[in-house]
Structure 1
Amino acid sequence: MVKDSEGQLIIEGEALLLTTTGTLIKTVLIEKGVFLFKEIAPDNYTLQLSATGYETEFREVKPDVDISISVVLITKAIVLDEVAINSENKMFTNHNGNIKVDVANSIFKASPSPLDLMAKLPSVIVSADKESLSIIGRGDPLIYIDNQKVGMNDLNALSVEDIKTIEIIKNPSAKYEAEGRAVVFITRKRSRRDGFEISGLETASFKRGYNNYTGVNTGFKKGKTEFKANFNYNKLYHWEANGNNVTISDARVATNYKIRSISDRAQYIFGGGIFHQFNDDDYISANVNAKLQGDDDRNHTQTYILQNNTADNITTLSRNDNQRNFVNSFINYNKKIKSLDAKLFTGLQYSNFYQTSYSDVQNNYNDTQFVAAQHRNQKFTVNAFTGRADAEKVFKNDIKLEVGALYLSATAKTNFAVDDYVTPAQMQSLYDFREQNAAGYTQLSGKVKKLSYSGGLRVETTDIEGKYNNTSTLTIDKHYTNIFPKAQLDYAIDSTMSVSLNYAKSIARPNYSSTSQVTVYGSPFMVFASNLNLNPTITDEVSAGFQYKEMSATMRYYTTKDPSYATFTYDTAQTLISLNTINYAKESGFTFETVIPFSYKLWTVNNVLSMVLNKIEDPSALLSTSKPYLYYYSNNTFKLPKAYTAMLSVWGTTKRNEGIFTRNAFFIMDVGFTKTFFKSLDCTLSFNDVFRNMNFNEDFAINNISSRGRYYTDTREIALSLKYKFGNFKGKEERRVNENEGRIR
């Protein structure tokens, strides 16, 4: 029972069950002095009890059997006629190198888009084209939203206002998909009480051009049913550029180009969902979200090419009308089977991606006149359906058994048509791709005294076929079965220290966009293309970690087969250079990472330092000496007078020599200030990439082609964000376990 100092029951509060190292296990509500934790394994725990107007109380508990406790909460002191209640939430928490970020209660909530938010998080790097994420030393992560596995399009369709926390998991267990060596786990906000809440958001962003983000989020809860909806309209000025010096020694070709792309981009992002809780264990939920994006794109390319001692200077202008639409829908059902004391989860998901591109291209050779070169009409569609079922049971000896199965069916179609005015000729190509994936897994976990263990095995069977419509012969015909084991041991030395060992085998599959024939015309001699025949990447990894309070150190060693990276290829018949992605022979590396949080009075800092030695190899490539490089990240938050909050974040890497590739060093600084006015108006002023250093250099040589590439982004920004809330809506948190596939781009 939870009472106040006068013996009255606490009407409403919150009870948190924590490990002795401070990791949150479960949260329940205190209602009329009573709270209950179910199915808790015997161990030493810390119980944290809090209620509005009372001091937070901590108790050490060890529930070997069912226990009842009585707690008295002390009333907070009241000063004059004003009561100020402040809940200090940690922006970052760390457990064995897995970092959890509190977005909802930090300056991060003012980020205009999910990708802008991701770019500010430790160990996360957003690619120059903003089409992918990577984790330092880990590669591309899996992305989960409320235990549902999603892709980049789902992430882009999410409203930042809807995000509660983001966790970067460096050692994902077997319950996650085998695809990926790290997980970005996003938890959305959910209501606690009946009522409604509406929030309006407006962000004015100044980069090379003006960008405006407008959004509305609504929520309504009545009884056991909750409705949520969001709508965002973004009017953006998109700028990007890249250049390259390419030499093809055996063809006596040398070229350099500089391409700049400017787009007027309109985005409509909207979504809605319903959640109904039948009882404490059973629920059903359904959600639909979408992102519609239109681009009026102007590309300008300057190309110099020398072949067979003949030089040309070419200016290429292309006008592109692009449309990219994405819709995702899913329904989940969770049921507790009381007769077996087990939980069953089922989920269905359907996703559709549709892209069209209409382009008109003209060239000017050697400052003469512009001549029409091509008209391009390209369409690309992906449809994906996923169904899954998962079951788990906890036995009396605290051993948990989890089993599950998944089925995925995806199709992709490309319609590629070109009118070439120079030849003249017309070309049309239709390409169909089909993939089916069936998977099953089992995982066993438990604890013996101070030793916690988990082990799992996942088996996946994949069938892939691809063909052009004008032939009966399959271009791609792949069928393979893979087994992915995972194991983890954790030993608690005492209440503040622990060590861990991990082994995992994982896979990284090509995104469905790689099956597209859609190409971007750079110049008469160069295109940006996809590779229809990419193989999946397989990685084996072992790691060891040490945790002391909030600090951790982790060592990892990994080997990878068929890693995929960009390269240039040359078609001698067409005199055409293509930039696409291929599989290299192998990759191996070692990482050592430390996470060191620190607080002093009004200053809170979270530091991440990684040393990485990575080597990418291929028999056809020129291999240089691999050297260790450093990744550093430091986020500093300052509580200033008059309830202002300031944030200074710096991160970057030293120069990276990774065998085949040599990449540049860079240093990034972000600054922000935030304050809440009138209790409902949040104002945030941000200065991002202050020194405009978010530019990437990449040099390599393969198949007698050497490249020195430069990629420029538009991330230096001054932004003012305003968010106003009204209504009374806070949500009751629920558990969702869907892990649907998502590789649609």
Structure 2
Amino acid sequence: MNLYLPLKLLITLLLFCLSCIANAQNETPKDSTSNQLDEIVISQEKKTFTNSNGNIKVDVANSVYSTIPNPVDLLSKLPSVQVSTDRESISIVGKGNPLIYIDGQKGTITDLNALSVADIKTIEIIKNPSSKYEAEGRAVILITRKLSKKDSFRTEISEVASFKKHYNNYLGFNSSFKKGKLEWKANFNYNKLNPWEKHTLEYEIPKASIISNYDVMANTHRNQYIFGGGMYYKIKEEDYFSINVNGKLQSDTFDINTFTFNQNQDVVNNVFTLSDNSSKKDFVNAFVNYSKKIKSIDTQLFAGFQYSNFNQHLKSLVANNYNETDFELSQNRDQKFNVDVFSGRVDLEKKFKNEMDLEYGALYLKAKSVSNADIFDFEKNSNEISDYDFKEENLAAYIQFSGKLKKIDFSFGLRAENTNVYAKFRTQISPSIDKNYTNLFPKANITFPIDSTKSIILDYAKSIVRPKYSSLSQIATYINPYFLYGSSINLGPAFVDEISSTIQYLDKTLKFGYYQTKDVVNPTFVFNEETNVLMITDINFKRETGFTIDLTLPFTYKFWTATNSLVFAKSKTEDDAALLHPSKPYLYYYSNNTFKLPKDFSFVLSFWGMTKQNDGIFERKANFIVDLSLAKTFGKNWSCTLNYNDIFKATTYTDAFSINNINSKFKYWVDANEISIAVRYSFGKIKDSEYKEKSVNESENRIR
């Protein structure tokens, strides 16, 4: 890392200086009422990035991004978006996990994997979503697909060869067919992956006179089958019926090797733990939608039903070798988790002639999960069986009114949600959770135009962050005889209040934001004094407060297009069980630079990083990541992309915190250094597909 530090600093300084120089070359358009304030295009031609009110919109169809084989990798190249190394989750810097919408309709990362990049027109990152989006989520990723009415077909085949520590392969097929009022879509992806993981932990428990550390590494062999299919039938011009099914089937085999040092008072042990694991994770999602225009009252009606199922089965056989003796079997762990979710919703929208819009609707959701744990202890020759049932019902209603008064745009909305939660162990009489609560979630947005090139936007939003259903299960991962990774059955939702103000000038934005999160979710330690086993799990902390200053500077100069983003942030997390120290601000920076070269070549250099973070409890060291890619299109059917990601091998995270009188320091190594070759071949063509699907379940992201 130190060897690369001067080069990193040089690259960062050079690119930002070049950005400023190129930005100075942009012509400032004359103040004209013909310029639109709701979206300011970076230049007169079609450009990759536009920026409005702090929301970034990316023209995928007419950029180098159309050559990326899958949507998840595409998102990872966009500003503020970070994709986890297992490709299972997406986050926005300063906002957490976003909601995903496809053509204005709710989706998940599984739905993303079922999309073809060739069908995507634009992607927009919305950092202050209105109340028409549900209360869960402080940001939205909105994907808009190409639309057309012509009868035709299209099939696309993509292949990605990825070289990390081990070889990974992604193979995909996407096809669509349209004839008259009927349209079909289908896709199938097979991924053979070999992810590598490693982390270390040092911890101290002064109360018990325990000092310990471990080094753990896991190599996984994973098979993924991703599938999707659906039908869309256009009844009338504004009426349609659709049905869709998609899912992901995943099987893993992985060994976890752990070297542990543990000192309990005067007793010292060096333990080598070998854990053989097999896991299955299956997800299936199906929904039926119906939309109709009620002409008598000039209102658009939507009704839909959705069913989702997630099933996980984890088996682990654990053996320990104490102080270089022989391996002895320790535990045989058999853990299962299943969740079923059914939901139905109705939405109505009425547009008035005076630029006013009224939206209202309701949703009902019912979820049921079952968690089973069967653990045999070889040392004690005993078997422990535990069954945990969880049920949740959610009833929600919302109303939103938006429009324009003179030159001022406004949007006011209110959402009410009633939640009923009941959970218990089957061997217990009293429930572990028995809650019934109702919450209101207001949202407001007002835009004041100063002139045709400048405006000021004010936003307020109250939102909720619910735990995933899988985090409410009993499934735990055995690391060594002294340490477990566990879930939290008592985890509750977090509530966020946020206000912000945005100054827009042409395509530049400067945004100020302040937020307060009650019952924020963070990791903690639970120590069992009888067994001397330490478990890390998630709980609700007291609160988190923070502010952000977000500057977005996109520009285009000749063959060079860039988007630069700077986020200055300071947050403070508080909890009575944690050791508090002064919080410090940190800086997130991002720059994506695309160069259109002769002969249909495109070169992309992007980098992002963060300075050292300290929120009063958790400390994380700085990091700096650089990615390169070179793309080439061959005619209308072939494209090839060469990627070199994390070229400095710098994707490591070092965290430190003290809680419950336990001091700890983690270090994670992420297998992000990658060279990949992507090839895509397509034939046939559909122009402006009318295919629509709408997710009914607003808690779909919680299932996995």
Calculate the TM-score normalised by the size of structure 1.
0.87
In structure 1, the gaps of 5 or more residues are: 1-17, 26-45, 47-55, 59-87
Structure 1 range deviating more: 281-290 or 434-443: 281-290
Secondary structure of 2:599 counterpart: helix
Q: Does 1:315 align with 2:272?
A: yes
Report the Cα offset of residue 106 of structure 1: 3.5
Q: 1:141 to 1:341 in 2, by over 3 A?
A: same
**In 1, Cα distance between the equivalents of 2:70 and 2:530?**
44
Q: 1:729 to 1:128 in 2, by over 3 A?
A: closer
Letter in 1 for 2:703: I
Equivalent residues in 2 for 1:197-212, closer than 5 Å: 197-212=154-169
Report the Cα offset of residue 102 of structure 1: 3.0
Report the Cα offset of residue 567 of structure 1: 2.0
Report the Cα offset of residue 386 of structure 1: 1.1
Q: Does 1:724 align with 2:681?
A: yes
Report the Cα offset of residue 112 of structure 1: 5.4
> Per-residue displacement from partner, 1:316-341 (whole Å, max 9, x unpaired)?
11111111000011111111100001
In the alignment, what sits opposite 1:61? Answer: none
In the alignment, what sits opposite 1:12? Answer: none
Indicate conservation of the 8 Å contact 1:437/1:462, yes or no: yes
Q: 1:143 to 1:287 in 2, by over 3 A?
A: same
**In 1, Cα distance between the equivalents of 2:668 and 2:265?**
29
- The counterpart of 1:438, out of the listed 380, 395, 408, is 395
In the alignment, what sits opposite 1:411? Answer: 368
In the alignment, what sits opposite 1:376? Answer: 333
Q: Does 1:647 align with 2:608?
A: no
Q: Does 1:529 align with 2:486?
A: yes
Equivalent residues in 2 for 1:280-291, closer than 5 Å: 280-291=237-248
Q: Does 1:249 align with 2:206?
A: yes
Q: Does 1:452 align with 2:409?
A: yes
Indicate conservation of the 8 Å contact 2:182/2:231, yes or no: yes
In structure 2, the gaps of 5 or more residues are: 1-32
> Per-residue displacement from partner, 1:431-470 (whole Å, max 9, x unpaired)?
1100000000011111011101110110000001111112
Equivalent residues in 2 for 1:96-115, closer than 5 Å: 96-111=53-68, 113-115=70-72
Report the Cα offset of residue 163 of structure 1: 4.0
Q: Does 1:296 align with 2:311?
A: no
**In 2, Cα distance between the equivalents of 1:215 and 1:731?**
22
Letter in 2 for 1:20: N
- The counterpart of 1:546, out of the listed 503, 507, 527, is 503
**In 2, Cα distance between the equivalents of 1:617 and 1:130?**
30
Letter in 2 for 1:350: Y
Q: Does 1:474 align with 2:431?
A: yes
- The counterpart of 2:638, out of the listed 654, 677, 681, is 681
Q: Does 1:187 align with 2:144?
A: yes
**In 1, Cα distance between the equivalents of 2:170 and 2:669?**
23
- The counterpart of 2:227, out of the listed 251, 270, 289, is 270
Report the Cα offset of residue 398 of structure 1: 2.4
> Per-residue displacement from partner, 1:224-263 (whole Å, max 9, x unpaired)?
2111101111111111111111111111111111111101
Secondary structure of 1:339 counterpart: coil
Secondary structure of 2:194 counterpart: strand
Equivalent residues in 2 for 1:50-199, closer than 5 Å: 89-111=46-68, 113-127=70-84, 130-156=87-113, 158=115, 160=117, 162-199=119-156
Q: Which has the higher contact order (CA 8 A, sep 6+)?
A: 2
Letter in 2 for 1:488: N
In the alignment, what sits opposite 2:26? Answer: none
Indicate conservation of the 8 Å contact 1:509/1:537, yes or no: yes
In the alignment, what sits opposite 2:628? Answer: 671
**In 1, Cα distance between the equivalents of 2:68 and 2:218?**
24
Report the Cα offset of residue 619 of structure 1: 1.7
Indicate conservation of the 8 Å contact 2:553/2:564, yes or no: yes
Letter in 2 for 1:100: K
Equivalent residues in 2 for 1:317-716, closer than 5 Å: 317-716=274-673
> Per-residue displacement from partner, 1:420-440 (whole Å, max 9, x unpaired)?
111111111111100000000
In the alignment, what sits opposite 1:33? Answer: none
Q: 1:89 to 1:719 in 2, by over 3 A?
A: farther
Report the Cα offset of residue 515 of structure 1: 1.3
Indicate conservation of the 8 Å contact 1:553/1:593, yes or no: yes
Letter in 2 for 1:367: E
Q: Does 1:744 align with 2:685?
A: no
Indicate conservation of the 8 Å contact 1:156/1:291, yes or no: no
Letter in 1 for 2:36: T
Q: Does 1:21 align with 2:19?
A: no
Report the Cα offset of residue 159 of structure 1: 5.1
Report the Cα offset of residue 155 of structure 1: 4.1
Kindly report the root-mean-square deviation, in angstroms, between the aligned alpha carbons of the 2 structures.
2.0
**In 1, Cα distance between the equivalents of 2:688 and 2:360?**
30
Secondary structure of 1:642 counterpart: coil
**In 2, Cα distance between the equivalents of 1:386 and 1:150?**
14
Indicate conservation of the 8 Å contact 1:241/1:261, yes or no: yes
Report the Cα offset of residue 154 of structure 1: 4.1
Indicate conservation of the 8 Å contact 1:181/1:506, yes or no: yes
Report the Cα offset of residue 120 of structure 1: 2.2
**In 2, Cα distance between the equivalents of 1:409 and 1:24?**
39
Calculate the TM-score normalised by the size of structure 2.
0.92
**In 2, Cα distance between the equivalents of 1:155 and 1:246?**
39
Q: 1:711 to 1:112 in 2, by over 3 A?
A: farther
**In 1, Cα distance between the equivalents of 2:50 and 2:424?**
49
Q: 1:679 to 1:152 in 2, by over 3 A?
A: closer
**In 2, Cα distance between the equivalents of 1:157 and 1:299?**
31
Q: 1:506 to 1:349 in 2, by over 3 A?
A: same
Report the Cα offset of residue 110 of structure 1: 4.7
In the alignment, what sits opposite 1:8? Answer: none
Letter in 2 for 1:243: T
Indicate conservation of the 8 Å contact 1:157/1:291, yes or no: no
**In 2, Cα distance between the equivalents of 1:583 and 1:425?**
33
Q: 1:377 to 1:189 in 2, by over 3 A?
A: farther
Indicate conservation of the 8 Å contact 1:147/1:738, yes or no: no
Secondary structure of 1:700 counterpart: strand
Q: 1:232 to 1:22 in 2, by over 3 A?
A: farther
Letter in 1 for 2:599: K
Secondary structure of 2:487 counterpart: coil
Q: Which has the larger radius of gyration?
A: 1
Structure 1 range deviating more: 150-159 or 507-516: 150-159
Letter in 2 for 1:712: W
> Per-residue displacement from partner, 1:493-542 (whole Å, max 9, x unpaired)?
22221111011111001110111111111011111110000111011111
Indicate conservation of the 8 Å contact 1:153/1:744, yes or no: no
> Per-residue displacement from partner, 1:384-430 (whole Å, max 9, x unpaired)?
01110011112233221111100010011111101111111111111
Indicate conservation of the 8 Å contact 2:197/2:669, yes or no: yes
In the alignment, what sits opposite 1:221? Answer: 178
In the alignment, what sits opposite 2:215? Answer: 258
Letter in 1 for 2:556: S
**In 1, Cα distance between the equivalents of 2:34 and 2:107?**
30
Report the Cα offset of residue 151 of structure 1: 3.9
Letter in 2 for 1:599: T
**In 1, Cα distance between the equivalents of 2:671 and 2:541?**
30
Report the Cα offset of residue 139 of structure 1: 2.1
Q: Percent identity?
A: 51
